[in-house]
Amino acid sequence: MSAKHVVLTVAYDGTAYCGFQRQRPGPKASIQEVLEGAIGRALGAPVRLVGAGRTDAGVHAEKQVVSFRAATTIPLPRLPYAVNRFLPPDIVVTGALEAGDRFHPRFSAASKVYRYTIWRAEFPSPFLRRYSWHRPEPLDVEAMRRAASFLVGRQDFAALGAAGRPVRDTVRTVFRCEVEERPPLLVVRVEADGFLYKMVRTIVGTLVEVGRGKLAPEGVREILASRDRRRAGPAAPALGLCLEDVRYHSVDTPAGLL
Amino acid sequence: MSAKHVVLTVAYDGTAYCGFQRQRPGPKASIQEVLEGAIGRALGAPVRLVGAGRTDAGVHAEKQVVSFRAATTIPLPRLPYAVNRFLPPDIVVTGALEAGDRFHPRFSAASKVYRYTIWRAEFPSPFLRRYSWHRPEPLDVEAMRRAASFLVGRQDFAALGAAGRPVRDTVRTVFRCEVEERPPLLVVRVEADGFLYKMVRTIVGTLVEVGRGKLAPEGVREILASRDRRRAGPAAPALGLCLEDVRYHSVDTPAGLL
């Protein structure tokens, strides 16, 4: 029984977790350790997995991609059922595929798509309270769209990555940054080849400042040029953020992910 | 300070409750008692309220309508904020209006609209697991639509009300019964002038039997004619059901509800 390179797509409600990545022991578990535990029980052997995106505490995923190597005789179409048996209902494996050796969930990804949901009604929603940011004040959506347009392209995003986390290379390519009205929701979708720490939440926090008239749309250009994190808006809270998709075009990617 | 007849619109996630109506003490509270407690604390005097629909344990509401009489100096637009301060996040007052004496949330209602949500994807959703019924098997939606059409009109619904609860008059008028595809969701919407106990859930359970090919669409006509509850499908689970709207056309109804 030779080891397979297994790829799983996973959806999760991040409310109860300290984020995707395994951390020092704390009050909340990580998605990674719960998944590794369930896969290990399903396969009868421990596994170590790699994920496409390190979602933060409270951030959700509609489609996270993880992979691991394991020798297993469970047919791939049955594997999600086998693993889901050992998962709590807020984490669900939605598919299983086999990848070539060179596939890596993060390094092979061409882009990731994050969606941020804002609930604009006067009062909070009992249904979307875990999955959206309640902002009841008037927001100038056209101004937000104009500001969002300045974020697209290959640029230095140092001003929109979290403060206090020095990264050598802060240049990323944002393929799209769209603001979609679906009353009472406002949805911000950002697709990029990579993200700095808290980048989407800082983009959303800054766009909301623009929507509230606290910042001109063109101010976003100046903030980017400044490379100074202190000039951007505060990061929007984690609960509105969801990893919506991971896109691959590379060799050894399983066909089901292309 | 003369007593006002105050009408509130309320949204709630019913997951943690034993239903709308106050019951004998048990492990779960009722929506009614939690609302009455919060209103009482906001106004500084106990109130007794009446609701438009007695939603069952685990059933949700996007727009429940309740009313009570109270002497209060809090301006109506501030009242939702005052009450929400004392409510848990799964119950939210979304509006306050003043009604005439003859208004009654239930008896003045011309119709109520219930929405039932089915999650059709192969695997359950971590986000909609509290708000939808997971039915991954193929469903013939056209057959379900045809069956639904037989439910519209003024008819005796004895076969589709819950067994063991004799009601004198089991004739109701269903204004519409629609099956809407919003992949991966299937949404059943029923509007009627009144509902028997568990009627929407029995309708949905029966429509799913039709969708699975266990019952011909025309079988629904025969079930209705039989007036025999044992011939209908099993009731669908509570978690997929939501009171979406209550409609009024009567005197003394506050303009904001018309």
pLDDT of residue B50: 96
Whether B201 contacts B237, CB under 8 Å: yes
Query: Mean pLDDT, chain A, as a whole number?
Result: 94
Contacting residues of A for B125, CB less than 8 Å apart: 11, 92
Q: For residue B105, what pLDDT is reported?
A: 95
Average pLDDT over residues A241-258: 89
Q: How many angstroms separate the CA atoms of B163 and B100, rounded?
A: 37
Is B139 buried (19+), middle (13-18) or exposed (0-12) by CB count in 10 A?
buried
Q: What dihedral angle (degrees, nearest 10) is formed by the CA atoms of B31, B36, B39, B40?
A: -150
Nearest residue, CB atoms, B11 vs list A80, A91, A126: A126
Q: Is B211 exposed, middle or buried (0-12, 13-18, 19+ CB in 10 A)?
A: buried
DSSP A117-154: EEE-SSS--TTTTTTSEE--S---HHHHHHHHHTT-EE
pLDDT at B165: 59
The average confidence (pLDDT) of chain B is 94
Q: Which of B12, B121, B123 sits opposite A126 (nearest CB)?
A: B12
Put simply, the answer to whether B129 touches A12 (Cβ < 8 Å) is no
Q: Do B89 and A12 touch (CB under 8 A)?
A: no
Helix (H) and strand (E) counts in chain A = 5, 10
Q: Which two tokens stand for residue A155?
A: 């640029």
pLDDT tens digits along A68-104? 999 999 999 999 999 999 999 999 999 999 999 999 9
Peptide bond into B254 cis (omega under 30): no
Whether the per-residue pLDDT at B166 is higher than 80: the answer is: no
pLDDT at B164 over 60: no
Distance of alpha carbon A32 from alpha carbon A45, whole angstroms: 16
Q: Is B56 a catalytic residue?
A: yes
Handedness of CA A258, A54, A9, A254 (dihedral sign): positive
| Cα three-residue angle A161-A163-A166, rounded to 5 degrees | 80
3-state secondary structure of A246: strand
Please give the average per-residue pLDDT across B194-220, as a whole number.
Answer: 96
Q: Does B13 touch chain A (CB under 8 A)?
A: yes
Q: Is the pTM of this model over 0.90?
A: yes
CB atoms B89 and A124 under 8 Å: yes
Interface membership of B182 toward A (CB under 8 Å) = no
- Judged by CB atoms closer than 8 Å, whether chains meet at A92 and B123 is answered as yes
DSSP, collapsed to helix, strand or coil, labels residue A160 as helix
Q: Which among B62, B92, B121 is the nearest to A124, CB-wise? A: B92
Q: Please report which confidence band the pLDDT of residue B254 belongs to, taking 50, 70 and 90 as the band edges.
A: confident
CB contact under 8 A, B126 and A12: yes
* Assigned token pair, B98: 């003043």
User: Measured between beta carbons, which residues in chain B are less than 8 angstroms from residue A239?
Assistant: none
pLDDT band at residue B250 under the 50/70/90 scheme:
confident
Does residue A164 surpass a pLDDT of 70? Answer: no
At residue A252 the predicted structure's pLDDT band, cuts being 50, 70 and 90, is: confident
B253 confidence band (pLDDT: 50, 70, 90):
confident
Tell which of A123, A132, A182, A241 to mutate to test the B interface (max B CBs under 10 Å).
A123
Distance from CA of A4 to the nearest CA of B (A): 23
> Within an 8 Å CB–CB cutoff, is residue B128 touching chain A?
no
